Chain A
């Protein structure tokens, strides 16, 4: 593994960097926790890595809370997300996903942008953000911004809509429309830390006064080529009282969620296991304990 590295410190420098390298092979990197593993395996010789981690621009590094929603810079690290009070209060699913990612050490360097751009079907933050109906703000080389919903941004395992002349700048999560929430992240793996999800479920329900579900988001990870938004299950739950979801409806939701999955056998688990656990975990969302 041998590469040249360039470390722009501002948006302008970054855009310059991008322009200079359009004709060659280069990679972007933020926390390097995914990229280094990939580069170790590759045999590419002439490679430039554009290291984003020195960029000081707040648009990349800040968490900005607005009435319309929350903007999280692509370079915000996972630990910052786990500790942010607004996120904790308004988007528990994201905070739980952050706390469940890797280990304390990795969380200090791994970024939200890296998690998204890696486009791993088992990306934990990605899964939470899809349930939250987040969208991407993508900086183009000419300085303009392209907006795209995160759900559309993912195109396949390790594939996104990002072009060679683009960088992910930030992620926007729309504000909740009600104050009452049922929101959480379920992660299934073999150990409690340093673990890639075998199955993950993110759910974020905004509730009316009578606990009726007014807005819902459900996403599943590691059971399809990308993180999947479970539209049918979300629609089915509309207007149901979150505290009184009948057992048959619980099963129905679990079934709908399961139907949106298309797991495969791999070394970490079989398709059978993923299906089974997805169903069981989905069922457990509304179980009163």
Chain B
């Protein structure tokens, strides 16, 4: 696609930016419907308990209470990716469990009513350790789990096995082999807007309207219909402005059908909003994982094999998060060239809260383990940390062991760029003395860049409507959750049709209006929705070209679209005039087109082989840290990011994605952790859950790599998840470089770092005395 681009590639502020920063944006919390009731959920007092009785009489007697629901009062299906999750619980399996729900005329009354519901529990000793759960003698945690039949263990919720190459042979060929166990913490999304839903059921026509912050409106519609035993087409999903998704809104959670049920029972609109504490307690998390990884390399530093066993703490129920192994196996099989790979991952039920999906989708964990081991392999071989990565870097044309086809690949350019920009080679060798010790670390990542074929369709529909006055509506199936893709869509239309940005509106919030799309995930939206839009624009132009030729009395064929004009040679006509003539002139027709785009990617086969994405994104990061050996504090000074984004569509939007991703990655590396004691969350507030702040952010230096992959719009690739994937790995490598200490767990909290440093100093002292 070689042409002059005057919009694409130039920074444009987000279409919704002004609304959001000025407070005009209507979030779910701002919705108010006539006669609306307010709902609250009573959660379990214990992480694991039998419920002997629930007495709601007192609460029902409170003035203003309109409805109380418990498991007994509802006829619903179980929800979740494995349908193992009751909407309201008969027994408690984790601290989040929804025992009862109240709808009342005010929030205060609803809250008061919760205190009046009397639940009699019989507490049971919970199982909080996945290894404990896997023991033969352990109790079955989720009675709807099918682990016994499917995987030979009642507490296995999901299991994956993948392999390629000849493991035994490659193990023998290896000059060095490194084996480590890594443990990665539970962290959460911290969306600025807490979870929310407003349900509006009409007893007149039996239709249900949901104002819901979902990332996947059409799947959500189907899940909701399944839960409520309703016809999906009677459910309309309207997405208000969404205050952060990051993967957290990929699943439907119990509070959503609960709110719908309250509306159905009362015949009134019902709103349910989480407070911040409830958000920490009851919204999804990233998986905690225990990763046993063995990696090998031959005498030349070429990677020979990876053998990995992953134990994921699934929590009490199974969400989409349990499928993170799909993404992780790509990383183990194909990040750098690897001759053989054997991958096994199991999600184990426990009485901890269930994990969901989170930007990066298992990839930060996988990348952490691989890139830590890579540093150790380099050390054992006496190779530079940069060298070992360059030797093994992915390359254009590569078809990996798993069948991923890298038609374009910016892995090596990205690596080279961050190595140079950060002065990695020199800094990695420097030894520092004194209180503050500096270090540099390197890590790379691989992620899908052109969608991911996991559902039956990975497609997206677009409808375009040009009105009498030359204004364009882009009605897209895709959703905006803050990632900036609607701005990119408007830019594409402006670029192609010569219509000014301010004459373009993106309509994307209503399932009654918009065509199918699978949802926001897998960094896919600009890619899939962009391609879909380009397809629609082609059709629109054919229509306009035909009419313009007729009006200007010239030959049919292609015209130039610029500044609201359609032109060829010396002839030109305003685009709005063409639209009007189409509507009013003969033969009367609408200036509306529609197009459905389905990426050319393929499904994986039963062995997980296949080219699942339209293209692949590559990135490297080099991080420089300074460790305070007096306090154990790690300060990230500079982050050098280079990423193969195919082509930069909106530089400003992309920079935002990079900076936001890196910020999340730094938090994952250094401070964020949900602390659980026997199934209870100990730090459900921003005070104790250490999300980093603006002043903690380092300088982020970004170097895009443009490989112009023909699958993507203008050659672009998905970019949203990548920036946080390698960050924690690079930071851990940098801290190890600074201190000469290996860390096997995250976060690298000051206390953990100081403890390791003190032990090292003591050992050194002991050794020097014994000599």
User: Chain A: residues with CB nearer than 8 A to chain B?
Assistant: 2, 103, 188, 190-194, 196, 198, 267-270, 272-273, 276-277, 280-281, 283-284, 287
Docked-complex contact A273 and B688, CB < 8 angstroms: no
Chain A residue nearest to B688 (CB atoms) is A267
* B749 within 8 Å of A (CB atoms): yes
- B675 & A190 in contact (Cβ 8 Å cutoff): no
Q: Is B433 an interface residue (CB 8 A)?
A: no
Question: Is B690 touching A273 in the complex (CB atoms < 8 A)?
Answer: no
Whether A193 contacts B754 in the complex (CB less than 8 A), given A188-B631, A267-B682, A284-B435, comes out as no
Which residue in chain A gives the minimum CB-CB distance to B682? A267
Known: A196-B687, A269-B751. Is A103-B693 also a contact (CB below 8 A)? yes
The residue among B108, B631, B695, B750 with the most chain A CB atoms within 10 A of its own CB is: B631
What are the 10 A-B residue pairs with the smallest beta carbon separation, nearest first? A280-B630, A193-B693, A273-B751, A192-B695, A193-B695, A190-B690, A192-B696, A277-B631, A190-B671, A191-B696
Which residues in window 625-661 of B have CB below 8 A to A? 630-633
Interface of A is mostly: loop
A-B contact pairs, 11 of them (CB 8 A): A188-B633, A188-B750, A190-B671, A191-B690, A194-B686, A194-B693, A267-B683, A269-B751, A276-B758, A284-B630, A287-B435
Q: Mark B652-681, 1 if CB is under 8 A from A, else 0.
A: 000000000000000000110001000000
B27 smallest CB distance to A (angstroms):
20
Question: Complex Cα distance A267/B688, Å?
Answer: 8
Q: Bound state CA distance, A190 and B671, in angstroms?
A: 7
> Out of A267, A270, A280, A287, which one reaches B631, CB within 8 Å?
A280
- Other than the given A273-B751, A276-B758, A280-B630, 15 more pairs (CB < 8 A) read A188-B631, A190-B633, A190-B690, A190-B749, A190-B750, A191-B671, A192-B696, A193-B693, A194-B687, A196-B687, A267-B675, A267-B682, A273-B632, A277-B630, A284-B630
The answer to whether B108 touches A2 (Cβ under 8 A) is yes
A252 to chain B, nearest CB (A): 18
CA distance A231 to B266 in the complex (A): 68
Contacts of A287 in B (CB 8 A): 435
Question: Is the Cβ of A276 less than 8 Å from the Cβ of B754?
Answer: yes
Give residues 377-423 of B contacting A (CB, 8 Å). Answer: none
Q: Write out the residue numbers on chain A whose beta carbons fall within 8 Å of the beta carbon of B671.
A: 190-191
A284 and B630 alpha carbons, distance in the complex (Å) = 9
> Are B754 and A273 interface neighbours, CB within 8 A?
yes
CB distance from B64 to the nearest CB of A (A): 15
Q: Please, which residue of chain B has its CB at the minimum distance from the CB of A37?
A: B687
Q: How many Å lie between the Cα of A59 and that of B108 in the bound state?
A: 39
The answer to whether B590 has its CB under 8 Å from any CB of chain A is no
Chain B 746-762: CB-based contact to A (< 8 A → 1; otherwise 0)? 00011100110010000
CA distance A149 to B694 in the complex (A): 38
Bound together, the chains give a CA A276 to CA B759 distance in angstroms of 13
A192 to B635 alpha-carbon distance, docked (Å): 10
- Asked whether A277 lies within 8 Å of B693 as measured between CB atoms, the reply is no
Expressed in whole angstroms, the minimum distance between the Cβ of A63 and any Cβ of chain B is: 26
| Least CB separation from B694: chain A residue | A193
- Assembled-state Cα–Cα distance A267/B755 (Å): 16
Partner of B754, one of A194, A267, A277: A277
Please report the C-alpha to C-alpha distance between residue A268 and residue B690 in the assembled complex, in whole angstroms: 10
Which B residues lie within 8 Å of A268 (CB)? 688
Q: Which of B728-753 contact A (CB under 8 A)?
A: 749-751
A79 to chain B, nearest CB (A): 16
CB 8 Å contact bits of B600-631 with A (1 = contact, 0 = none): 00000000000000000000000000000011
| Chain B residues closer than 8 Å to A196, beta-carbon distance | 687
Q: Write out the residue numbers on chain B whose beta carbons fall within 8 Å of the beta carbon of A277.
A: 630-632, 750, 754
Smallest CB-CB separation from A198: which chain B residue? B750
| A281 to B694 Cα, complex, angstroms | 25
A2 contacts across to B, CB distance below 8 A: 108
* Interface residue B513 (Cβ < 8 Å from any Cβ of A): no
Q: Specify the chain A residue showing the minimal Cβ separation from B758.
A: A276
The residue in B630, B682, B690, B758 that gathers the most chain A C-beta atoms within 10 A of its C-beta is: B630
Tell me whether A270 and B696 are in contact (CB under 8 A): no
Q: Which residues of A contact B693 (CB under 8 A)?
A: 103, 191-194
- Report yes or no: B692 in contact with A281, Cβ–Cβ below 8 A: no
Bound state CA distance, A160 and B683, in angstroms? 28
Q: Which of A192, A283, A284 is most buried by chain B, counting CB atoms within 10 A of its CB?
A: A192
Given the contacts A191-B693, A267-B675, A281-B631, A273 and B683 also touching, CB distance less than 8 Å: no
Instruction: Closest B residue to A280 by CB, please name it.
Output: B630
B 216-242 binary contact with A (CB < 8 Å = 1; else 0): 000000000000000000000000000
CB distance from B632 to the nearest CB of A (A): 8
Tell me the nearest residue of chain A to B691, going by C-beta.
A191
Chain B residues in 8 Å Cβ range of A193: 693-696
Bound CA–CA A267/B687 (angstroms): 11
Cβ–Cβ < 8 Å partners of B750 in chain A? 188, 190, 198, 273, 277
Q: Which of A193, A269, A277, A281: most chain B CB closer than 10 A? A: A277
Question: Which chain A residue has the least Cβ–Cβ distance from B749?
Answer: A190
Best-buried of B682, B688, B690, B758 by chain A (most CB within 10 Å): B690
Instruction: Report the separation of the CA atoms of residues A196 and B688 in the bound assembly, to the nearest whole angstrom.
Output: 9
A283 to B, closest residue via Cβ: B630
A218 to B630, CA, bound (A): 19
Task: Name the B residues within 8 Å of A191 (CB-CB).
Answer: 671, 690, 692-693, 696
- Least distance between A139 CB and chain B CB atoms (Å): 32
A270 to B758, CA, bound (A): 15
Query: In the complex, which residue of chain A has the Cβ closest to the Cβ of B275?
Result: A40
A283 to B631, CA, bound (A): 12
For B115, give the chain A residue with the smallest CB separation.
A43
B505 to chain A, nearest CB (A): 34
Query: Which residues of chain B are near A281, meaning CB under 8 Å?
Result: 630-631
**B165: min CB distance to chain A, Å:** 43
| Chain B positions within 8 Å of A267 at CB level | 675, 682-683, 688
User: Which of chain A's residues has its CB closest to B687's CB?
Assistant: A196
CB distance from A113 to the nearest CB of B (A): 22
Q: How far is the CA of A270 from the CA of B750 in the complex (A)?
A: 11
Within the complex, what minimum Cβ distance (angstroms) separates A1 from chain B? 9
Residues in A with CB closer than 8 Å to B687 are 194, 196
- Chain A residues with Cβ under 8 A from B631's Cβ? 188, 277, 280-281
A270–B751 touching, CB < 8 Å: yes
Residues in B whose Cβ lies below 8 Å from that of A272 = 755
Q: What's the least CB distance linking A286 to chain B, in Å?
A: 13
